[in-house]
Structure 1
Amino acid sequence: MTARSGAALAKVVVGPEFGFDHLAWQSWLDEHINPAWRPGEWNAEAWLFTGDVDNRGTALRRCAVSACPTVLGAGRPGAICRRCGIDFDGIVDQDRETFLRAHVPNRRTLAGVAVTRCSIVWDGVQCTRHAITGDLCTIHYNSYRHHVFNKARTMSYEEWATTIARPFQDTAPCLIAGCTALLMSSGGLCTYHYRRWSSANRNAGGTLQMQAWTSTQAPYLGTCCFSLAPLPDLVRREVLYGLQHRDQFGQPLSPVAIRHIIQQLPELPTLVGQRDIVLTTLSRTQDANAQAKAREICWSVQVAFDAFHGIAPTDKDDLDLRAAGLKSPTRSGRRVNPRVVDLTAISQPWLRALLRQWVDIERPHSHMFNRAHKAISWASPVLAAQPGGGIDPATLRFADATAILDGFRTAAQSSGELYSSRYRRQLLGVFWKLVDFGRSADLLDLAGGFTRHASHTIPEEDVNEDEIGSAVPESVIRQLDAHQHLLGLDISYGHMPADAVAVMCQTIYIAFRDTGRRTREVASLPLDCLETTGGDISLVWDNSKSKRLRRRLPITTETAESIISWQRRRALLDIPHRSRNYLFPAITAAAGVPHINTSYVATILRSWVASIPELRDEGLGLDGNPLPFERSRIYPYAFRHSYAQRHADAGTPVDVLSELMDHASISTTMDYYQVSLKRKREAVTTMAIHSVDRSGRSAPFGSDLAYERGSVAVPYGNCVEPSNVKAGGQSCPIRFQCAGCGFYRPDPSFLPAIEQHINELRADREIAEAMDAAEYVISNLTEQIGAYREVVATMRYRLAQLPSERRAEVDEACAVLRKVRAGSRPLLPLTVVTPTTQTGQEDPT
């Protein structure tokens, strides 16, 4: 690398050292801390946070008892406080719902603070201090004990209260910043802090200075509060900065967890470089929530410390994607969790610097970064094997570019299997785009020969047509259906009840199985995803891949009923506000997307498949026993292939299936109709012996060759009339009234088409009768219906007589041949019309 390119791409990165200028660091934090952070919750003067239970960014809940003001930490919906729980346990004749609605808690104190005033009254003026013992404040209670008990009970309570006791009228607050309780004595402290001061001073041998002590004390902290006052000045600011920084990622703040961190935080002058010590201390408490919050705070402090020293995230070889501002691939783009990528495995410094500089300028999302990092990771060992190790980009030549091409051509997975040709081609293109970026931005001083030539391509490989789609076989889907009761068990989903989680998971599976939509399309289904028109039910969904919204897909009544059942259960749940318009809500209000995460959907499916005791494949092993099905083949997108393959095997016309799949090109749909020559030949061999004539009598072909050459496929069977065969089915002398033709040769693969034609003939007959058509027209339709019915009845009877193994073979052959026909263009028009001009002459064009 030249000096110019080195200066442009690389900076000297120095790690944090202890003994740095603490005052300068503290001043930097003061400049970057938002003084107006969380108005109404944060008291900057007192370093006190009092959470608002109505703020969705604060993890708090109210007690479910309507009349109880107690605030709880984040918990399940419907939770009640400990005292209301004790009250409920003491009631035997009231159900929970009535208790929550009608119970009125009787509290002398709430959240540790007295709520009743001292009962001493003089001349109509009541004591302003809080009642602590009985109905008296502490001073009056001590006076009462002295005069009534210590003097041999010579004075009654009434005499003491009317002659000696005088109400206090002071309204000054406690000296502790943020404490709203009234003074207990002339010492300037409330009851709570006076007790703490007395204990601390006693332990210090009476030498404790009150002013120094009060500066580090927090007010009484209820569930919704935490105070940074007990921390050293620098650590206070570091924790506050970390809390404000994590707010940018939409993560809820838990006062309970933060208070726990502050209580357990070791005595440290700073959090810089102390992550392991902090986490080790907190790990002893077994509080995973507090450990996670401490980890995030330490991360934010370290990122800020690097910025204080002028070190950007993209200057380091341990690249932190969240600190670098890379977006996640979610719809919101918000990255919640940090991710550090170690670039030191890339042996060429100029390649590492190129990737960092590209990230700094382009700010790609995670998917783009992953491909770029993968491409450079593939190219690096190839260059390392070249003379000079590829260290100096100015010495690279055309041979090095060719070597990189060979490396990408042979790139293999850990299993030794090559990556797909499409993936290798994409990553090769990404690598050269990065090199072009370095050249265009004048960051690299590369030799002219190190460039991509037109011959540097990876050819597209043909896909094995028998494995197109990777569909889950129907036999395996039937086994999955039999184990639906296991789906959603032991799955945690935020605060959602376990039974609701199970219903949601089962509905998601049914949507995959019955609709063939992509993972994201199912996860983001709108709440109003069902539409009924004329008795037909359609699923309303968004094709997010092609940006075609509000698409409609016909679905069965059973599928719709499962969705409706989940909608009813969902209506009873506490759903995050931003998920209100989605059928499958997000796990929390702070999730990256407002609906269930697609990766979590895959996790649910994998967990369910792993819990099923046995899954059998369609084939048999050498010992004659069923083969186990490879469970890794069951993933959300595989059900899309199953949906398409199910329709293709059933003979659904390719244009209809293309519309059902919402494919932009019909060529994409055609993949599901491709059948290997071997499978087609086997199907023809099987079907040739099951052909019948128009009367239902057996009329087998002599061979599979005779089946293919001596007949032509017409809409409802095969035809062996010579002139029609020669014309490719375009020269039927009786206009395709096949049931009355002696050359008609149907077989079981045409059964669905024949039955559909019978229904069409019946509809035509009803229309003819309504039109008062001539008798011979109606008779003709009636005779055709009867003839076709006889053909169908005969074939179904003969199929029923076959052994199960032979019947399965015939069914497979039928599916193959129907797929072949459905993937072809329409075979025959019902009428042949010669185009003419308006003058009646044939149009020569």
Structure 2
Amino acid sequence: MTVAVQEIGAAEPQGPRLRRVLAAIEPSFLELMQWDQTARRLIFPVDHVQLGGESCRVRGCRKTSFKFAMAHQLCDTCNEHWLRSGQSVDDFLATATRTWRYIGKDACRVSACPRPCKSNREPFCYAHLHQQRVSGLSVEQFVRRPGVVALPSFGICQVRSCDRQKDYERTSYCMAHRNRRATERRSGSRVDEETWKGTASPVTITGEISLLGLPELLAAEVVFGLQERNRSGAKTKDHSLRPLVNTARRQQAGSLAEIDLTGLTRLQHQLVATFSASIDRIGASPETERFKDAWDLSVFGLGGSLRFTGISQPWLREAAKEWAVQDLLLHRGPRVYSTVQGGLRSLGKLSESLWLHRDDHGIDPSRLGRPDIVAFLHRAAFLQDEGDLSVDGRHKLVTKCRQVLRRMRSLGLSGPGRPLAGLPNDFVFRDEDIPDEPEDSEAGKDLPAEVMQQLCSHLDALDAIAPPFVRTAVELIIDTGRRPQEISRLPWDCLTADDDGSPVLVYDNHKSHRRQRRLPIAAATAALITKQQNVVRARFPDTPAGDLALLPTQMRNPHGAKSIGEGLISAWHRAWVTGLPEFHISVTVDTDGRRATEQILFDKARIFLYAYRHSYAQRHADA
């Protein structure tokens, strides 16, 4: 099927935004969604990993199941009937046929008759149904009866989002919309007829979304947004997108930007945000993005975003952009944005200080000097005294500001015509300006052996609240002492052996940019890895092993190539630790010359993922 992309916006004059969006919609995606310009309907492919679901197993049911494990591949309605039946799933499926109410759109069973049937049980239009009842014939006998012929159509429902046939001549609507309009009137609705025709939502059909009645720009934005969300690996089901489309129609919004999101679910907010972000990226490049005050780092081939809005002075903001472009190249890993944004936050604190203590708010760089650096240092000390900065936070703030300003000067940003032009040479941080670093911030972060024993004895409780891969990740961190990020990003084929056959873990040290590091591990740890490999292989049988992650995320990951984030492991770990009984450790006390052992409470806040790394190091140091 060949689909003309321009047809989506053919009915209205095309503004620049509409033309840009239409040009970015791929014909192959329209073919995937079976786009029909006349029906203006998106049909979600049932067998698609991200867009579809499993067909309900009940005979005659046309709905889709999205709850594979819980509903035994039954749709919600059939699942409820099964639960009420008291039967086993197999016994229920052996006898069940979908005869209860369903949502669909079927024509009369008489050949070529365009009029809608009354129901699934009575599959004729009203005229033919009357004839069939009078004849006393079965459905199959009646449709084969000589003289039974198709009747002319009564026309299409006048609700602009609907393409269903009317079932009576003297009505404006199909049966569903006629009943809905009557119900709303009885409930006191005062919406006039023409407005209602333009804002009423279509009748829901499983696996389909109608864009009839939507402005061309909004329809194109929805199609393109869905295309890009699908490209990203995210799952989007028809029942997730439909409420947003119906809300936009009811509000008569002309584009995504005009939709009032009040009262919508978190998912609807996410859809608007991701669709809008995708549209904003059309035609974007690093050359265009770098002039904005908020950067979408996908344009740079990275994740996340950068914001420069916390820097008030134009010269400092422009210098920060020049620095950020260069600094993005110096870091690796999925959280590059976090590292660079840390530098921008430090500059934001410097900007705040200039704004507060200078009459000109620091707008003119040529008027700055050493006193402004001193004022910033005093403010950092004040923030620490007020509890807004820790000792370590103050040290890092000043250190980062010095580092960034030095880097800006080394990049030539103080030259003629550059952002720092005219900035005096004494606007600089000296070595003595750096606050003392906290003493041995790593000390005391290892966990006592008693606490480790208690944690390991309660690992089953982690299984009870979190997906199985979380326990696997936590056990690997405990056993290997690797950083949480290093474990979360392990490839599927991370296990190998030494020459003597002893198991070895192969991992990447992302912090130091050292790849393919080798760590001898215990046989029990190797067994944990092989068990997880089998789980992943069974879940993604068609993905090459070299592309798989050992701990694949469940989000936007149809092929198993994306790893879980360390933040997810940390969140589940914190929930697990919080729910465990109190931890106690033994200490020896001396009371009146008599030594005794007492149990004291151990603070759960000290049990975090990185503490296992310190505990691993301490165990090996003591060995």
Q: Common fold, TM-score beyond 0.5? A: yes
* 1:522 aligned residue (487, 497, 500): 487
Q: Which residue of 1 aligns with 2:365?
A: 393
**Could you tell me how far apart the structure 1 residues matched to 2:438 and 2:142 are?**
103
Gaps of 5+ in 1: 1-22, 119-124, 149-154, 205-209, 492-500, 651-845
1:557 partnered with 2:540: no
Instruction: State the match for 2:21 in structure 1.
Output: 32
8 Å CA contact 1:175, 1:214 repeated in 2: no
- What secondary structure does 1:637 align onto? helix
Shift of the 632–321 alpha-carbon distance from structure 1 to 2, 3 Å rule, reads: farther
- CA 314–196 in structure 1, closer or farther in 2 if over 3 Å, else same: same
| Counterparts of residues 346-495 of structure 1 (less than 5 Å) | 346-356=311-321, 365-383=336-354, 384-385=356-357, 389-400=361-372, 412=384, 414=388, 416-419=390-393, 421=395, 424-434=398-408, 437=411, 438-439=413-414, 442-450=418-426, 452=428, 458=434, 463-464=439-440, 468=443, 470-491=445-466
Contact 2:445 2:611 in 1 (8 A): yes
Aligned twin of 1:256: 239
Aligned residue identity for 2:524 = E
**Contact 1:50–1:226 at 8 Å: present in 2 too?**
yes
Distance 1:168 1:271, change over 3 A: closer
In structure 2, what is the equivalent of residue 227 of structure 1?
A: 210
Offset, 1:259: 1.4
> Following TM superposition, by how much is the alpha carbon of 1:44 offset from its aligned partner in structure 2, in angstroms?
4.5
Q: 1:82 to 1:641 in 2, by over 3 A?
A: closer
- Asked if structure 1 preserves the Cα contact closer than 8 Å seen for 2:477 and 2:612, the reply is yes
Please list the CA deviations of residues 482-505 of structure 1 after superposition, one character each: whole Å capped at 9, or x if unmatched: 3223224434xxxxxxxxx1x332
The one-letter code sitting in structure 2 at the alignment partner of 1:601 is I
Partner of 1:267: 251
User: Is 2:621 aligned against 1:648?
Assistant: yes
Asked if the contact 1:527–1:581 (Cα under 8 Å) also holds between the matched residues in 2, the reply is yes
Distance in 1, Cα, partners of 2:112 & 2:542 = 47
5 Å-filtered alignment, 1:524-543, equals 524-531=489-496, 534=500, 536-543=502-509
- Quick check: 1:411–1:424 contact (8 Å CA) kept in 2? no
Q: CA-to-partner distance for each residue in 1:101-134, whole Å, 9 max, x for gaps?
A: x77845699751338833xxxxxx8978775463
Instruction: Report SS of the residue matched to 2:609.
Output: coil
1:166 partner amino acid:
V
| 1:141/1:333 CA distance change after superposition, 3 Å | same
Displacement of 1:251 after TM fit? Answer: 3.5
RMSD: 5.2
Query: Residue 391 of structure 2: SS of its match in structure 1?
Result: coil
**1-structure distance, mates of 2:102, 2:183:** 29
Superposed CA deviations along residues 323-351 of structure 1, whole A, max 9, x for unmatched, are x7576xxxx8334xx786752xx453432
**What does 1:574-589 correspond to in 2, within 5 Å?**
581-589=548-556
Residues 1:138 and 2:126 aligned together: yes
- What is the alpha-carbon distance in structure 2 between the residues aligned to residue 313 and residue 32 of structure 1? 18
1:187-336 alignment runs, 5 A limit: 193=174, 196=177, 221-233=204-216, 235-237=218-220, 239-240=222-223, 242-243=225-226, 249-265=232-248, 266-271=250-255, 274=258, 278-282=260-264, 287-294=265-272, 296-297=274-275, 319-322=293-296, 325=298, 333-335=302-304
2:609 to 623, 627, 636: 636
Distance 1:24 1:394, change over 3 A: farther
Partner of 2:64, secondary structure, is strand
CA–CA distance in 2 between the matches of 1:358 and 1:560? 44
- SS of the aligned residue for 1:280 comes to coil
How far 1:600 sits from its partner (Å)?
0.8
Aligned residue runs from structure 1 range 115-134, under 5 A? 117-118=109-110, 132=118, 134=122
Match of 2:566 in 1: 598
- Per-residue displacement from partner, 1:585-642 (whole Å, max 9, x unpaired)? 2022359971111111111222222222212356478998544333333222221221
Alignment counterpart, residue 168 of structure 1, candidates 124, 136, 150: 150
| CA shift for structure 1 position 647 | 0.9
Kept in 2, the 8 Å contact 1:108–1:116? The answer is: no
Q: Distance in 2 between matches of 1:404 and 1:486?
A: 49
Is this contact kept in 1: 2:380–2:394, CA < 8 A?
no
Q: Is the 8 A contact 2:488 2:563 kept in 1?
A: yes
Q: 1:292 to 1:402 in 2, by over 3 A?
A: closer
Q: Report the CA distance shift for 1:417/1:453 in structure 2 as closer, same or farther (over 3 A).
A: closer
Which range is displaced more, 476-485 or 240-249?
240-249
List gaps (5 residues or longer) in structure 2: 1-11, 186-192, 330-335, 592-596
1:403-461 alpha-carbon deviations (Å, 9 max, x no partner):
65777799847354243856743442123324555335723332442454775774885
Opposite residue 392 of structure 1, the aligned amino acid is: D
Does the CA contact (< 8 Å) of 2:58 and 2:97 recur in 1? no
Alpha-carbon separation, structure 2, partners of 1:648 and 1:160: 88
Do the aligned residues in 1 keep the contact of 2:56 with 2:73 (CA within 8 Å)? yes
1:93 deviation in Å? 6.9
One-letter amino acid of the counterpart of residue 280, structure 1: T
Give the partner amino acid of 2:581.
Answer: P
Deviation at 1:474, TM superposition (A): 2.1
Report the residue type matching 1:259 in the other structure.
R
The answer to whether the 8 Å contact 1:518/1:640 transfers is yes
TM-score, with normalisation over the residues of structure 2? Answer: 0.72
Contact map agreement 1:84 1:105 (CA 8 A) in 2: no
Aligned position for 2:8: none
Cα deviation for residue 74 of structure 1 reads: 4.3
Once residues 381 and 123 of structure 2 are traced to their aligned partners in structure 1, the CA distance between those partners, rounded to angstroms, is: 86
Match of 1:504 among 461, 466, 469: 469
Amino acid at match of 2:262: T
Q: Give, in whole Å, the separation in 2 of the partners of 1:140 and 1:66.
A: 29
Alignment correspondent of 1:742: none
- Inter-CA distance 429–613: structure 2 relative to 1 (3 Å threshold): same
2:366 aligned partner, one-letter code: A
Paired with 1:387 and 1:268, the residues of 2 have a C-alpha distance of 49
Shift of 1:567: 4.7
Instruction: Give 1:841's aligned residue.
Output: none
Instruction: State the identity %.
Output: 22
CA distance in 2 between partners of 1:39 and 1:254 (Å) = 16
Q: Across the two proteins, how many residue pairs are aligned to each other?
A: 572
- SS of alignment partner, residue 604 of structure 1: helix
- Could you list the per-position Cα deviations for residues 64-101 of structure 1 after superposition, in whole angstroms to 9, with x for gaps in the alignment? 639777343644454312454366458777555x877x
Give the corresponding residue for 2:79: 85
Structure 2 distance, partners of 1:79, 1:369, is 46
